[in-house]
Structure 1
């Protein structure tokens, strides 16, 4: 898995191949094909390493409802403090900007597995829009911090960014249309 993650991180989803992963791991490519049907299957398995959706949601949904946005940002950034995990996040971001199966897979993951489930807590008619707006904030923060490495965001403490970005995500998920951020009731 480490060889696959490194290959995807360095080359991106589109340029990586099962054969290159096998070569990097020092094994026959038939062995990789034995465990993974295709590149998308292997890619999905590597995505679980830095951030698993079920763990993210467990942590976020265990938070008080009025702290969901801040908890989400803090948890994500804390998990990505490790350089290898941050590198994998860059892989995810690069893939999201590409085309093909990897992009579709990421779009489905972000929409169905994370933000739609969070937005559904609002019992709102505009849950999909809320989910997409929250996703735009998270993806933008990740792009700025890990792919573009723009300062001072790239070196800011996770708590600082959580305090500043979390309320925006909170508002997208649970805010009233008149602009007030509430506990999501």
Structure 2
């Protein structure tokens, strides 16, 4: 029987069963250390020890990587926002509210999203990470399309409405808001978001 030790394999890991997990773990560390803006897919691949192409294979861009690794939901926010932007601008506010509620009312997402909102209110690091993410991937994508003046302020005001809706409906669970249907909430909040994100 040989006493020789098998050579240690070096270099990038191949695609395999645990590759997605390795990438997700690396992404969580990078997002925590560098924030949303400071994190790149190439850096995540380097930390995970995989080829950058594998990050693109498992995740559809940085927003999707963030959603699946940090928020732990399979909903890609960039795709959802793109769908909102595909319709006419004069009803964008209502579509945004409906899309937001559809994602949150999905039982597979709600527990994780509620935990995230709670963390935003209690953890400064999580709050900073979410500020960057929302400003770039949600309100930022909308205002880039609508080209409104004072886009950062308008985007922040829109984000405040959505965060307030999430907090009162899913965390605090105010009865009137919990019991309201999507149509009612879209009718009330849609024009507010429309004013912030679209109207000149």
Shared fold (TM-score greater than 0.5)?
yes
- 2:113 matched to which residue of 1? 89
Instruction: Compute the TM-score of the two structures, normalised by the length of structure 2.
Output: 0.64
The structural deviation recorded for 1:61 is: 0.7
- 2:174 matched to which residue of 1? 150
Change (3 A) 1:78 1:124: closer
Structure 2 unaligned residues grouped into runs of 5+: 1-20, 33-65
1:106-134 alpha-carbon deviations (Å, 9 max, x no partner): 11111111102212233233111110111
For the aligned residues, what is the CA RMSD? 2.6
- 1:140 matched to which residue of 2? 164
Aligned residues: 146
**Equivalent position to 1:129, from 130, 153, 166:** 153
The structural deviation recorded for 1:48 is: 5.2
- 2:102 matched to which residue of 1? 78
**Equivalent position to 1:36, from 25, 30, 37:** 25
Instruction: Compute the TM-score of the two structures, normalised by the length of structure 1.
Output: 0.69
Q: Within 2, Cα distance between the matches of 1:88 and 1:175? A: 33
- Which one has the largest radius of gyration? 2
Structure 1 unaligned residues grouped into runs of 5+: 1-31, 177-185
- Tell me, yes or no, if structure 1 residue 102 matches structure 2 residue 126: yes
- Higher mean alpha-carbon deviation, 121-130 vs 150-159, is at 121-130
Could you say what secondary structure the match of 2:97 adopts?
Answer: helix
